[in-house]
Amino acid sequence: MPFKLFDYQQRIVDETRQKIGQGNNGVLIVSPPGSGKSVIIAEIARLTVSKGGRILFFVHRQELVNQIVKSFQKQDVDLMNCTIMTVGKVANRLDCLPKPSLIICDESQHSRAKTYLKIFKYYSDVPRLGFSGSPWRMNGAGFDDIYSAMVKGPTVKWLIEHKKLSPYKYYSVTLFNDEKLKKSSTGDYTNQSINDSAKPTLYGDIVKTWMDKAFGQRTIVYAHDTQHSKQIADEFRKAGISAKHCDSKTPSDERKRIMRDFRKGKITVLCNFGLVDEGYDVKECTCCVIARPTESLVFDIQATMRCMRYLPNKMATIIDHAANYSRFGLPDTPRKWSLTGRPKKKGNNTSALPIRTCPHCWAVIPAQCKVCPQCGEEIPIDNEGMDTQDNVELEKVGEFKMTTDYQNNQYGKMQPDDADNVEDLYKIAKARGYKPGWAYMNAKRMGMLG
């Protein structure tokens, strides 16, 4: 039996059908990651097939194809009247595929690619629907030649307030020097310049910050290349944390096993490069670590919000090691989406909001805060540390450093057996300058890890 859509999802379905009925040959549906686009797609497919129509659905990754098949099955869509493939397979089979009555394309921020355009041109007389959480191209190109109308879903702020996405804490502990970053022909930073810009303490500090802010949380780490991801996973394992690396070139069976183990909680930290930034849903994931600078708003939205899938009483933790928030804002920063293109150097469709990092706990907070809403410490109000995506001084973003005051505080004087919980042990380790593995082993010895 088909499941009932939320009110906002049903509104999107109704508005989309209305736009098609008004003669629009292409409609782009924009709704934030985690808002249930697969449910909306499945319902539109069910309605189309139930009236004798045929669906052609495509997306750029096989894992996303597998996910939509499951969604169609849950929604009682007759798969005999559906063609569901990756975009590459569709483009290579146009002459032999049955003609659809409706085309549905997911992750449509990619729809300017040649393979997508080839399909759209071949089926130029077939209505098409595109779905995206972030319709944005790095080169500023628009989508108005592909889609003639847009349907907008709710904002991230609304979804959090109505318990459809989880609230979050956002920390920025930058480990890169922006002055050394250089862009490639794609518009994003080159791997070599990211390596050059990384601070010497990169790998250790990623683990230390995670220990301090998100210890034990099921975590996805986003690295800038394969070697980077493997090294981060290795550093977590040295600290006694179950961690694995995975990327698109990982053998299929091994990749499936790693993904399955992460879902089940057998793996605590999943480090990846270019694999789980789109369409990968694990509600039990509560933390995302962004270990790479980027000029891509699409990547930033997809990666930071991967841990915000809703569960009751869940609080997501986002750790941004590259101060990307200063380029794009926060997950619930208002966005102004449009089908038309934008000037290449005119920002990132983000409303400029003054924000800063707390000098005590590194939480990213509104600049006007006199007291940090995360740690409760008082904050002096001046221009220092205030950031917007248009005017940033990255040296004022918080860094994970052990201060003399912290070394001399109560935790520096405590013994392991004085700790009441795991958090105390990590604070002792931090105050004494010990590696996080020291705290982990003591927690294990004392039976605090179950």
- The three-point CA angle 212-214-218 to 5° equals 150
Residue-wise pLDDT tens digits, 44-102: 999 999 999 999 999 998 888 989 999 999 999 999 999 999 999 999 999 999 999 99
Domains annotated on the chain, with CATH: 7-153 (3.40.50.300), 161-396 (3.40.50.300), 404-445 (no CATH)
**Between 407 and 163, residue with greater pLDDT:** 163
Starting at the edge strand that comes first in sequence, how are the strands of the sheet with 287-290 ordered? 168-172, 316-320, 287-290, 219-222, 269-273, 243-247
Q: Alpha-carbon distance 24 to 130, whole Å?
A: 12
Is pLDDT of 346 > 60? no
Is the pLDDT confidence value at 24 over 70? yes
DSSP bridge pairs for 270: 220, 244
Using CA atoms, how far apart are residues 154 and 135, in angstroms rounded to an integer?
15
pLDDT (average), residues 199-203: 87
Residues paired with residue 317 on neighbouring β-strands, in sequence order: 169, 287
Read off φ and ψ for residue 59, nearest 5 degrees.
-155, 170
Check residue 359 and give its pLDDT: 84
What is the rounded average pLDDT for all residues in the chain? 87
Please write the tens of the pLDDT for every residue from 140-154. 999 999 999 999 999
- At 301, the pLDDT band (50, 70, 90 cuts) reads very high
pLDDT value of position 62 = 86
Assess contact for 278 and 64: CB atoms under 8 A: yes
Q: Which tokens is 269 given?
A: 């930290």
261-265, 355-359, 370-374, 397-401: segment of lowest average pLDDT: 397-401
